[in-house]
Structure 1
Amino acid sequence: MAHHIVIGGGQAAASLVAKLRSSGFDGDITLIGAERVPPYQRPPLSKAYLLGEMELERLFLRPEQWYADNDIALRMGVRVTEVDAHYKTLRLDTGEVLTYDKLALTTGSHPRTLPAAIGGTLDGVYTVRDLRDADAMAPEFRQGARLLVIGGGYIGLEAAAVAAKKGVKVTLVEMADRILQRVACPETSAFFRDLHREHGVDIREGVGLKELTGTDRVSGAVLTDGTELDLDFAIVGVGIQPATALAEGAGLEIDNGIVTDDHCRSSEPDIFAAGDCATCNFKGQRIRLESVGNAIDMAEVAAQNMAGEDVAYEPKPWFWSDQYDCKLQIAGLNLGYDAVHVRQDGAARSHWYYKGTELIAVDAMNDARTYMVAKRLIEAGKSPAPEIVTDPETDMKALLKA
């Protein structure tokens, strides 16, 4: 009987084993994860879970019993130390060697950390990536505590929002000229800068961290403009990098992630990859999509092909971020945009990205209806004129029929 193995513990891993079984594969399935809990959601770690609004069990993507009911062997709290693509084996840190027929790598990503030379290894310095991170930092979020957030991307901003809601005094530094510079237009940056300042967050753009200070535990920071801050803790949100060590050791092709073809296969035909660790083709470009949507969709296509189907993966990028009472929803990718048009409809707001006359992405703030319309327009290749989409009198749903 064939044996398919999936390595990972997040959204892609859970989606892949579920789709593999529902696609008719009746062989053995083993899911191996380094953490001691079943696969769980990552996004709430920096939001609802950290705020205490979500219990641990609600993080789990499926109850543990579901895996047993579907004859999926869970091997949690175990690390894979080596993959041999030639002999189709993998070695665990227990010393066991397992044989597979097809293998899926859904190993996710690692947060970038600060060097020890500038205080990155001091106690009280955190990253936000897994359950252990969230549990470790949760006691720090107390009224009046002083926090430095390093990095003005979505992870840093979400952590700052949680901290501010908990009564923490937050300073956020971003080395670039503006927050969200890598992923969003100036209009979106300005919206979230104003939102955070309204909640008391001290945002400093164009300023980086020189060093964190303290003997064993962080107690202060020196910024690149010479400012010195007293701190109780710090959160580092300076991006992530794909977890490709196993793939590299197996000799797979790597290019900012595990290179996959249109069927989610790596350079080894019996090894598939999905989620944050993998790159895919999008409109002729090789990209890596760090999103729940991509993790689910890519994993399900990988599963179908592992089950013997012939399904091509077509990325449909979508993202979201929750900060305070604002829900940001993003459809499409804004790569290469040359114009942004703003739609304001009462409290709802959206930013429409165009590349020439082509609509390529939309940022929607507290505007779920516009987001859903925009997502469908982009996926259908429809590009309404900017003066139409920015007119608050426009019936957005009617655009789908045009």
Structure 2
Amino acid sequence: MTNPTDRPLGVALIGYAFMGRAHSQAWRSVAAAFDVPAVERRVIVGRDEQAVAQAAERLGWQEHATDWREVIAREDVDIVDICTPGFLHEEIAIAALAAGKHVLCEKPLANDTAGAERMAAAARVAGQRGQVAALGFTYRRVPALALAQQMCAQGKLGTIRQVRASYLQDWLVDEDAPMTWRLRQETAGSGALGDIASHAIDQVQHLTGQQVTTVRGRLATMVPERPGESGPEAVTVDDAAWATLELSGGALASVEVSRMATGAKNQLRLELYGTDGALRFDLENPNELWYLDATAPIAQQGFTRVLVTEPEHPYLEGWWPQGHVLGWENAFTNQARDLLLAIRDGDPTGFTPTFEDGLALQRVLDAVIASDAADGATVSL
């Protein structure tokens, strides 16, 4: 694929609900925040003609469409941004890559390992043509977590021995909350596991620089039925998940996720403990990173609050003066920045995570499912 030099890059967004809104905001603001190639929000796609037309007007897209196949064939579309339910990722992404487009796909990559393998294979072929296949684990672009990754890579924690990751939400606590596609195995693949444990496990691997080698996991469906359009409907995915992970560098990680944790709104917490220091992060306070330097004299040791809003911090060159905090949506703009820079540089691997990373993570998720099916037995990857 050759990138246009005489016009902005055209973006097509597939999906207009929650994630579509977040991605629309990113495409709207990225060129104002960062020095990147110009983009145009060409077309937004959805199955409901009236709803997608309203979304196009509200979110600032030039056009709307109901057939994604026609859209990916258009000459004026260079980037296909996939924000659909997981069961649609594979077909759209593979077709878009075959059509010569760069692709950004929301996480998790697919609903199972077999689908992820096909997507990764398509991305490898497309990469030889210079196309970027990017996976949207947006929390990698939260400045405080990007700083945490830098500090780990610089050895600030020494040898990392232990990681605790939890991602807790409460939007399903009410047993009368209605059925959605996220609660059906055929559309979502899994429940809290794929939805939010995928984020937690991605952060464990990304921050430590280590890969999961063995898994022990358990799943729980706490509310087995939800009100559907035609009466009670069985919930076929998990509401909560737990896993113990052994990592390639010798660290151990515990992961706990739930969409039934009363009072937890969007609580991704990460703790990393090493021989020379420790880090703590909570997404409900996204501009703060807590660091303990264990090499300091014991009388001076203690966790220090780092407010990650300085120009020297990751991504902050595009944003506001010191102390003017960033929010959840800014990470999506940072993500769009990194994708556009990889496209500009002609570097198919210049954006991470890649589809290959998504495949590796899907294998971990499927290992948790396999371990639960075997009463918590250890599963090796």
| Larger RCO (CA within 8 A; separation ≥ 6) | 2
What is the TM-score of this pair, normalised by structure 2? 0.24
More helix per residue: 2
More strand per residue: 1
What is the TM-score of this pair, normalised by structure 1? 0.23
